[in-house]
Amino acid sequence: MSGTPGRPLSAELSEQLVAVAVDILAEEGWGRLNSDRVAARARAGKAGIYRRWPSMAALARSAVSRFTLVHAPEDEGSVRADLVALVGSWRRPLSREERAVASLVGAARHDEDLRAGLDAALVHPLTESVEELGRRWADRGDDVPAERLALLRSVLEAFWWQRLTAAGDGGMVAEHVEQVVDDVLLPLVAPAAEPARR
């Protein structure tokens, strides 16, 4: 059987197109992602792009949805240590994946595909990580009410967006990261989790 409509899509080419899209987003930004540039860098035809994704926003969503920018840390033994480990990436410059995600933040306000990509890369993993920490803390006897966990998640998300959109490479010095934990994050959960810590 012949003809483009029935021909199976090459998984290898799909991966190559996604990798090229991530490179363009990370290096040049959302405004430079277009089918001509993707096709040229991937040495592929534009038709092959649009057979897979109806728009550049759909391609960008597919690309960044593969990322998980937040991971629940290993059990560090205390609420404070867990929080320090959770935000440990803040001490490093933005990774390629983070730069790609960061390039979409402004445009995502007006595009459902881009918002969905950001949700998959950052918002959902952050929510799951905070929920995992909440369960861990409860198991250790540091039970944190759901409303405080929700507030913690919201504040963490705000800091993460700030990291992604601030000028510079996104890295913070270690002392500043720990100061954010001690002065901002820990007080959100300390009344329940560590009442003796002052």
Question: Which tokens is 7 given?
Answer: 């021909």
Residues 24 and 115 in one domain: no
pTM over 0.85: yes
Residues 15 and 86 in one domain: no
Query: Is a pLDDT exceeding 50 seen at residue 4?
Result: no
Quickly tell me which residue has 């905070």 as its tokens: 130
Q: Is residue 4, in this structure, part of any structural domain at all?
A: no
Residues 39 and 99 in one domain: no
Q: How many CB atoms lie within 10 A of CB 114?
A: 24
User: Which residues in 37-71 are b (16+ Cβ under 10 Å) and which e?
Assistant: ebbeebebeeebbeebbeebbbbbbbbbbebebbe
Q: Is residue 54, in this structure, part of any structural domain at all?
A: yes
Predicted pLDDT of residue 109: 95
CATH number at residue 35: 1.10.10.60
pLDDT-derived band at 191, boundaries 50, 70, 90: low
Query: Is a pLDDT exceeding 50 seen at residue 7?
Result: yes
Q: What is the pLDDT of residues 156-173, one digit of tens each?
A: 999 999 999 998 899 999
Q: How many domains does the chain have?
A: 2
Q: Is residue 40, in this structure, part of any structural domain at all?
A: yes
User: Which residue range is the domain that position 127 belongs to?
Assistant: 79-193
Q: Is residue 69, in this structure, part of any structural domain at all?
A: no
Predicted pLDDT of residue 161: 96
Q: Is residue 198, in this structure, part of any structural domain at all?
A: no
Q: What is the pLDDT of residues 133-147, one digit of tens each?
A: 999 999 999 999 999
Q: What is the pLDDT of residues 44-98, one digit of tens each?
A: 999 999 999 999 999 999 999 999 999 999 999 999 999 999 999 999 999 999 9
Predicted pLDDT of residue 167: 85
CATH number at residue 120: 1.10.357
